[in-house]
Structure 1
């Protein structure tokens, strides 16, 4: 689906009109292309007094080929940066927050278009005093505001790193930095991501971080699911693409395109989890990554909704995930180091008129992550969710024009996202290197104003 307004804005006449009338100004976003540099310019790396993360981060970024600049050496007022990374883990009370101003204020206009801002901190629950926890929680307001202020496709994220994360060069911190600095995170902004202790392995080749992995994608025939199959296969995975029999032709086309295999299965069938487990066991002996992407909508206001609409949405979007997880885990088909990624929605965070069934199911997915991730962590398996906002698909193309335009513009990017944006985020959470990233719900919404 073409966003004609965003295309018009890129023309000379469009830019003049936007400037004159103060209309939304959707920037061209930097998205990932294999072979691209991690970031299109040097990165300014700063640290608060006593910060514990700047040194390992500096080592990781240097090894990744990123040119680092020390703030003390950044005296050229015309210098432009691809990213600003700041270690705020040393801030232990509210007076120390002034260090954030001193770092970011001089550089507010120094970022290149689609630049990246990353602030690193300590989870408030791990802080040694209420004052330190207060200061670390304040970082969320900073990053979310930067994401709304800087414009031009700039994203801003807060990464809380637990004190028991791997020392030296933590692999999962590296995978998170590589994702957030790159074009893979084009439509992810204003997020809080937690990196803890966990099983993580650096890939032999960061361009193929899923080499040797068997990945199941449900709802793979079209839209986000098809984009997932393409991105995961590009990153080296053997993709098992699953969808309902009615989508068989489209599913086969996707599976053939990515060199994967197709499974036609209705996940609501009573024997579906067993049949799926049998297939994975006989064909692959395991499944390293399970991506629960299958989902449906059956919209009506609650007072007009029949029971079948309610039941079918809850069953497909939430209960089927629980049933599949139960069988795969019971049969030990997801090994230690495995990943489960579920697709939620900002509707599950903010709610949505006419979608009580859908919002309930997607909030349930978030509950699944909160409740099950600690249990799976004991088995060395990570569990995360992504929550897409307005993504340009065939479903959103059916939304009435004015509502569709509002959905596109009500975010910091002033545009809808693409299925590949969701796929790239799920890809990062699926990497073996991301094992210490667990229990997160990452919104892929261009920093939507809904539920902000």
Structure 2
């Protein structure tokens, strides 16, 4: 689906009109292309007094080939940066928040288009005093506001890193920084990501972080699911693409394109979980990553909704995920180091008129993550969700024009996202290096105003 307004804005006449009338100005976003450098320029790295993560962050970024600049040594008033990274873990009192102003204020206009802002902090629940917890919680307001202020495709994120750091923590911090700094995170902004302790393995090649992994993608025939299959295969995974029999032709095209395998299966069938488990056991002996992407909509206001619309949406979008997880986990087909990633929606966070069934199912997916993540932590299995906002697909193309334009413009990027944006985010959560990232719900919405 083409965003004609965004295309017009990129023209000379369009830019002049947007500037004169103060209209939304969708920037051209930097997205990932294999072979790209992690960032297109130097990164300014700052730290609070006694920040505990400045040294490991420096090592991670240096190893990744990033050119780092020190604020104390940065004297060029005209310097431009690809990213601003700040270790705020040393801030233990609200009076020390001034250090953030002192770092970001002089650099507010120094970021390149599609630049990145990352603040690293300590989870408030792990802080040693109420004052420290208060100051660390304040970081959310900073990063969310920067995401809305800096414009030009700049994203801003807060990464809380546990104090109980282990090798898995640092590996997952590296995977998180690589994702957030790269073009993979083009449509992710204003997010709070938590890195805890856990099992994580760095890849031999960061350009193929899923080498050797068996990945199941449900709903893989079209849209976000097809983009998922392509991105995961590009990153080295052996993809098992699943969809309903009615989508068999489209599913076969996707599977053949990526060198994966196709499974035609209705996930709501009573025997679907056992049939799927048997297929995975017979063909692969395991499944390293399960991506629950299959979903449907049956929209109508609650007062006009028949029971079949309610039941079918809950069954496909939520209950089928629970049944599949139960069987795969019971049969130990998801090994230590495995990943479960579910697709939620901002409708599950903010609600949506005419979608009570859909919003209920997607809020339930968030509940699934909240409940399963601690239960599976000791088994070394991570559980996360992504919550897409307005993504340009054949489904959103059917939305009435006025609502479609509102969905596109009511975010910090002033445009809809692409299926690949959701796929890249799920890919990062699926990496073996991301094992200490668990229990998160990451919105892929361009920092939508809905539910913010």
TM-score when normalising by structure 2:
1.00
- After superposition, what is the alpha-carbon deviation per residue over 1:302-325, rounded to whole angstroms, capped at 9, x for unaligned? 000000000000000000000000
Distance verdict in 2 for CA 1:220–1:167, change over 3 Å = closer
Other-structure match for 2:400: 400
Contact 1:139–1:158 (8 Å) recurs in 2:
yes
d(CA) in 2 for partners of 1:166, 1:263: 39
Q: 1:17, CA displacement in angstroms?
A: 0.2
d(CA) in 2 for partners of 1:11, 1:184: 26
User: Match of 1:180, SS?
Assistant: helix
User: Match of 2:167, SS?
Assistant: coil
- After superposition, what is the alpha-carbon deviation per residue over 1:68-95, rounded to whole angstroms, capped at 9, x for unaligned? 0000011111000000000000000100
TM-score when normalising by structure 1:
1.00
Contact 1:296–1:317 (8 Å) recurs in 2:
yes
User: Match of 2:34, SS?
Assistant: coil
- After superposition, what is the alpha-carbon deviation per residue over 1:122-159, rounded to whole angstroms, capped at 9, x for unaligned? 00000000000000000000000000000000000000
User: Match of 1:169, SS?
Assistant: helix
Q: 1:166, CA displacement in angstroms?
A: 2.0
Other-structure match for 1:442: 442
Contact 1:213–1:288 (8 Å) recurs in 2:
yes
Contact 1:288–1:337 (8 Å) recurs in 2:
yes
d(CA) in 2 for partners of 1:289, 1:21: 48
d(CA) in 2 for partners of 1:257, 1:153: 32
User: Match of 1:270, SS?
Assistant: coil
Other-structure match for 2:85: 85
User: Match of 1:369, SS?
Assistant: helix
d(CA) in 2 for partners of 1:352, 1:286: 38
Other-structure match for 1:288: 288
Deviates more, 1:94-103 or 1:159-168: 159-168
d(CA) in 2 for partners of 1:110, 1:252: 47
Contact 1:56–1:168 (8 Å) recurs in 2:
no
Other-structure match for 1:40: 40
d(CA) in 2 for partners of 1:396, 1:168: 39
d(CA) in 1 for partners of 2:214, 2:225: 16
Contact 1:59–1:169 (8 Å) recurs in 2:
no
Q: 1:378, CA displacement in angstroms?
A: 1.2
Contact 1:29–1:153 (8 Å) recurs in 2:
yes
Distance verdict in 2 for CA 1:112–1:306, change over 3 Å = same
Contact 1:56–1:169 (8 Å) recurs in 2:
no
- After superposition, what is the alpha-carbon deviation per residue over 1:13-38, rounded to whole angstroms, capped at 9, x for unaligned? 00000000000000000000000000
Contact 2:239–2:261 (8 Å) recurs in 1:
yes
d(CA) in 2 for partners of 1:287, 1:316: 21
Distance verdict in 2 for CA 1:168–1:355, change over 3 Å = closer
Contact 1:118–1:159 (8 Å) recurs in 2:
yes
Q: 1:165, CA displacement in angstroms?
A: 2.1
User: Match of 2:383, SS?
Assistant: strand
Which ranges in structure 1 are unaligned for 5 or more consecutive residues?
none
User: Match of 1:319, SS?
Assistant: helix
Contact 1:60–1:169 (8 Å) recurs in 2:
no
Distance verdict in 2 for CA 1:93–1:325, change over 3 Å = same
Residue 226 of structure 2 corresponds to residue 226 of structure 1: yes
Q: 1:168, CA displacement in angstroms?
A: 10
Contact 1:165–1:195 (8 Å) recurs in 2:
no
- After superposition, what is the alpha-carbon deviation per residue over 1:300-355, rounded to whole angstroms, capped at 9, x for unaligned? 00000000000000000000000000000000000000000000000000000000
Other-structure match for 1:121: 121
Q: 1:167, CA displacement in angstroms?
A: 5.4
How large is the RMSD of aligned CA atoms in angstroms? Answer: 0.7
d(CA) in 2 for partners of 1:168, 1:4: 45
Deviates more, 1:382-391 or 1:73-82: 73-82
Q: 1:169, CA displacement in angstroms?
A: 8.2
Contact 2:168–2:436 (8 Å) recurs in 1:
no
Q: 1:100, CA displacement in angstroms?
A: 0.2
- Extract structure 1 runs of 4+ deviating beyond 4 A: none
- After superposition, what is the alpha-carbon deviation per residue over 1:226-265, rounded to whole angstroms, capped at 9, x for unaligned? 0000000000000000000000000000000000000000
